[in-house]
Amino acid sequence: MVVGEFGPKDLVVEYTGRKFEPAADLAEQIEKKWAKLGWKRNDNLARLETYGLEEGKLVLTLGETDGKRYVGARDFEYLRKYGFDGIANVLAVSSVVQTADGKILVAKRQKGDAVGAIDGIAGNVSPGEDLFAAAMREVEEETGIDVNELKDGRVIGLVYEYGKDLCHPVMGFVFKTDLTAEQVMSRKTDEEIKVVALDKDEFVSVLLDEKQPMEPDGRLVMQLARRILIRGMTYEKQLLLKPDQI
């Protein structure tokens, strides 16, 4: 959707407080799916309403939804039927981290439907949460790196994950740390993921290995990070897809 490098001052975020209200027939499907799953936890989540580029800044308008509407209204068939504005569009953050010894940290799923899949260090944004803070929070939770040990953070793109039953926007980040990979790997991490430290050749090999399971959004963010961390190149700021083109 958007590529380019954006620092904290290059993000303009407005939280509207608007709640996502699905169409009546979709709301009925959401209730059925939620009842079938039997889940109890239903967190409030930030929802991407609009985005664009204005004078070199990434401008986002964010509303609110919840876990039930997200899980129940994120299928590809619903995206096609109701369009970008008609589904939950929970905003996630996904990061890769470069260590002091040049390794690149990513995540490997340990639980759920995607066990063994490589992914960015990722999670959802809460309503009102600063986006850089959200990304750093997820890195701390999943790797044990304290937020104060992260530096040189920047957004590298806003992408959209297309999946049969998982469609939503993801903001990609890169960070650096003065810790070595060995120091990071010795820390306690989230049980749902395993931290994987890759050198530059391994990082590229994982991306090119068609047999390696990867989360779609993780692949997109890692592809963006490859250009910056491996090739030492930058991205011109560009709006590639408008919401009505998704």
Q: What digits encode the pLDDT tens for the residues 145-168?
A: 999 999 999 999 999 998 778 899
Q: What is the pLDDT of residues 195-221, one digit of tens each?
A: 999 999 999 999 999 899 999 899 999
Per-residue pLDDT tens for 98-112? 999 999 999 999 887
Q: Is the pLDDT of residue 115 over 80?
A: yes
- Cα–Cα distance between 236 and 233 in angstroms, integer? 10
Contact 177, 98 (CB under 8 A): yes
Using DSSP, how many helices (H) and how many strands (E) does the chain show? 7, 12
Span 164-183, average pLDDT: 94
Q: Supply the pTM of this predicted model.
A: 0.94
pLDDT digits (tens, 9 = 90+) for 71-84: 998 999 999 999 99
How far is residue 166's CA from residue 217's CA, in Å, rounded to a whole number? 10
Q: Where do the H-state alpha helices sit in the chain?
A: 24-37, 67-72, 76-82, 131-143, 181-185, 200-208, 216-225
Report residue 174 as tokens.
């890169």
Backbone φ and ψ for 223, nearest 5 degrees, come out as -65, -40
